[in-house]
Chains A and B, each alone.
Chain A
């Protein structure tokens, strides 16, 4: 106990209070989900390093990243949150739906915004009930709808009588799209079959046996970490047509498909960020971060799907800081100002170009009523020969007409459960 006190004292001594912008990175570089966690955390860290090195921070104030290992475990995530929130944390991006669910009530009570970018609780899109939670640029329900839309396009506009299997991580993360897919199956007349895989998902033999028996027309896939590699390998083993196997945006990165070799060729996934390093910003990252020896990783994952997404998450946070600094006229903002900045965030194509990322992601315009942004994504396909993700569609919109009532209903249920009066402050 005494040692523990000393250790805590050491931490307090080691981190002198300075004027900076604190971004906790609840990352996971260990455990079964590290294959997605490492490049994301590297991208997140590298962008802030770039801002500090190239621009001297954001609006002249240095960004400070506090990394805390969660191992995708909710209890460790809570410990990380408690350990970092006192440092003046501006925004939490836990990259875990389970941890997001833990943090939503806590962070709302503490007044710290959460940005669960394309994950977390879908109904947090309703900013009147969840003022502190943001999930732009899209939600799981958007992803599910975009996958259905893509299948519709492939099938010539009708999914009537088709069989679609949802293969999902048996957790809050994987269960999120079920509600939307059920609504869409009624609307479009396809049969929805649910196949849960228990975490971490290394054992999927029985599920793929089921797939062989059912012969679904499409498999929608909600996997993460090691589960992705196993599923894609299993699909290749049973020679399931890969172009009918569509993953959510967390199930379509290089580490997921490379282990299956040529078998993964043609596998599809949704995505909301550009891939590759053909953006002017990467030259700066190479110059100021990688070549200067300041990269969080070994520089190998630059341009990969999850790296770019981590970069995008950091960029959105940095842009929100700029908005907040403008709104409040101070450079050293706090968490409440950060929230205001996030709620007033607007990024146009011109902004993307000036940031060195032309066409990198859809335009974003956040309001109090809409915390989930445009809900747009494109479908990409893996080309095993060139080891690249190739976009096969443009940015598509989701069926928000179907989704919006579901979001309203779920948010209203949360509001009554927790005694919240929805409003725009």
Chain B
């Protein structure tokens, strides 16, 4: 009824090639942005910021990063946790070495440093593919975690090996450290997410993204039609690393405040982000958000229902939570292998035809 192209005429090329060509989609997108920027910051409290929104937004950036590499370019990576650690430790070193420079610049620089490291670990992808590449990135995961544990310079030789974020502000508003207001935490993450998603969306729509997808779909065919596999793969690693690094830097500085590499950036993190993009949908920006939301919100939601709502013992709830989320993941993979993004796509197709499906 409302969701259709008819009556929505494009008269210029930019209009025709915009991200959301359907008017309803576009308004929905503006509405989401408006709520995110103009409503939530005014009603958010510490619990919602720390347990729900901040982790969701940060994981969304990480998922976008991994989705570019795995979903768009077809290079499987199991090193996301360690790459986030690179972002976190770069951010820590920069924050403590140059306290007078804005945290925003530090976060972006951490993204850049991570991009360089990830590109380095992406080099083997030129020779090895599939599972073998996954193993190579797994090696990166263990190597980097070991490195950050072993070399005292990375954690400024603190007694416990922990890194902790000092207080930093943007335009006089504190965004890291314990005195941060919930809305400030939320806003800085939201701004980074919005920018990252915009960049990612436009990269994947353009020639760079098409090269990645050509490599993903069939690398030999892509080479024959003139795609340089080295360039395509390495740019994918680089861009992916940049986003994952930003996610790691925010994860440490804004969300956790103090981190320990084995605990916060272990192999679990790599799998968590990988699950996010598989459940959300490979090769979809929306899927990255949907997957991050699913993996972050579901445990919190189940815990609140079981313990808060039903008053069950906490251990029973924790075990049930594993069963329910595991079951849901399997169910999703069987019923919709292309993830939540595909469900969304199908819903839109149906809406387009509604109410006359034939």
Residues of chain A having any CB pair with chain B under 8 Å: 1, 3-4, 7-8, 10-11, 14-15, 27, 29-30, 34, 38, 67-69, 71, 73-75, 78-79, 82-83, 85-86, 97-98, 101-102, 105-106, 108-110, 121-123, 170-172, 175-176, 178-179, 196, 198-199, 410, 417-419
Q: Interface code B90-111, partner A: CB below 8 Å = 1, 0 otherwise?
A: 0000000000000000000000
Q: Which of A29, A74, A78 contacts B314 (CB 8 A)?
A: A29
Q: Which of A109, A175, A418 has the most CB of B within 10 A?
A: A175
B337 at the A interface (CB under 8 A): no
Residues of B within 8 A of A71 (CB): 318
Question: What is the interface residue range for chain B against chain A?
Answer: 35 or more
Q: Which of B159, B266, B315, B317 has the most CB of A within 10 A?
A: B159
B303 at the A interface (CB under 8 A): yes
Contact between A101 and B162, CB atoms less than 8 A apart = yes
Q: Which of A11, A85, A97, A170 contacts B262 (CB 8 A)?
A: A170
A197 vs chain B, min Cβ distance (A): 11
* Known contacts A105-B178, A410-B159; A30 and B262 CB within 8 A of each other: no
Contact between A10 and B309, CB atoms less than 8 A apart = yes
A410-B179 Cα distance, complex, nearest whole Å:
22
A418-B50 Cα distance, complex, nearest whole Å:
22
B304 at the A interface (CB under 8 A): yes
Q: Which of B258, B266, B314 contacts A68 (CB 8 A)?
A: B314
A14-B309 Cα distance, complex, nearest whole Å:
7
Residues of B within 8 A of A75 (CB): 55, 256, 264
A3-B304 Cα distance, complex, nearest whole Å:
11
Contact between B256 and A171, CB atoms less than 8 A apart = no
> Given A98-B263, A102-B258, A170-B262, 8 more contacts at CB 8 Å?
A14-B311, A30-B318, A69-B303, A71-B318, A83-B51, A172-B160, A172-B260, A199-B263
Residues of A within 8 A of B342 (CB): none
User: Which chain B residues numbered 12 to 62 have a C-beta less than 8 Å away from chain A?
Assistant: 46-47, 50-52, 55
Residues of A within 8 A of B130 (CB): none
Q: Which of A10, A172, A418 contacts B162 (CB 8 A)?
A: A172
A171-B258 Cα distance, complex, nearest whole Å:
13
Contact between A74 and B257, CB atoms less than 8 A apart = no
Residues of B within 8 A of A29 (CB): 313-315, 318
User: Which DSSP category, helix, strand, loop or mixed, fits chain A's interface?
Assistant: helix
* Known contacts A75-B256, A101-B164, A106-B257; A3 and B301 CB within 8 A of each other: yes
A179-B161 Cα distance, complex, nearest whole Å:
11
**Residue ID in chain B nearest A76 by CB atoms:** B299
A385 vs chain B, min Cβ distance (A): 33
A124 vs chain B, min Cβ distance (A): 12
B307 vs chain A, min Cβ distance (A): 8
B305 at the A interface (CB under 8 A): yes
Residues of B within 8 A of A121 (CB): 160
Q: Which of A14, A172, A196 has the most CB of B within 10 A?
A: A172
Contact between B178 and A69, CB atoms less than 8 A apart = no
Contact between A175 and B160, CB atoms less than 8 A apart = yes
B219 at the A interface (CB under 8 A): no
Contact between A179 and B262, CB atoms less than 8 A apart = no
Q: Which of A7, A172, A179 contacts B304 (CB 8 A)?
A: A7
Residues of A within 8 A of B266 (CB): 199
Residues of B within 8 A of A15 (CB): 308
**Residue ID in chain A nearest B293 by CB atoms:** A1
**Residue ID in chain A nearest B309 by CB atoms:** A10
* Known contacts A198-B262, A418-B166; A82 and B311 CB within 8 A of each other: no
* Known contacts A68-B314, A82-B50, A98-B263; A106 and B178 CB within 8 A of each other: yes
Contact between B159 and A30, CB atoms less than 8 A apart = no
User: Which chain B residues numbered 177 to 191 have a C-beta less than 8 Å away from chain A?
Assistant: 177-179
* Known contacts A79-B50, A417-B166; A172 and B301 CB within 8 A of each other: no
Q: Which of A4, A101, A109, A179 contacts B179 (CB 8 A)?
A: A109
B319 at the A interface (CB under 8 A): yes
Residues of B within 8 A of A73 (CB): 263
Residues of A within 8 A of B257 (CB): 102, 105-106
Residues of A within 8 A of B307 (CB): 67-69
Residues of A within 8 A of B46 (CB): 82, 85-86
Q: Interface code B291-329, partner A: CB below 8 Å = 1, 0 otherwise?
A: 000000100110111011101011101110000000000
Q: Which of A14, A172, A199 contacts B308 (CB 8 A)?
A: A14
Contact between A30 and B308, CB atoms less than 8 A apart = no
Q: Which of A83, A97, A122, A179 contacts B47 (CB 8 A)?
A: A83
**Residue ID in chain B nearest A180 by CB atoms:** B159
List 16 contacting pairs A-B, 8 Å CB cutoff, sorted by A. A4-B297, A4-B300, A4-B301, A38-B315, A69-B314, A69-B318, A75-B256, A75-B264, A79-B300, A85-B46, A97-B160, A102-B256, A105-B177, A106-B178, A170-B149, A172-B161
**Residue ID in chain B nearest A176 by CB atoms:** B160
A67-B315 Cα distance, complex, nearest whole Å:
10
A74-B47 Cα distance, complex, nearest whole Å:
15
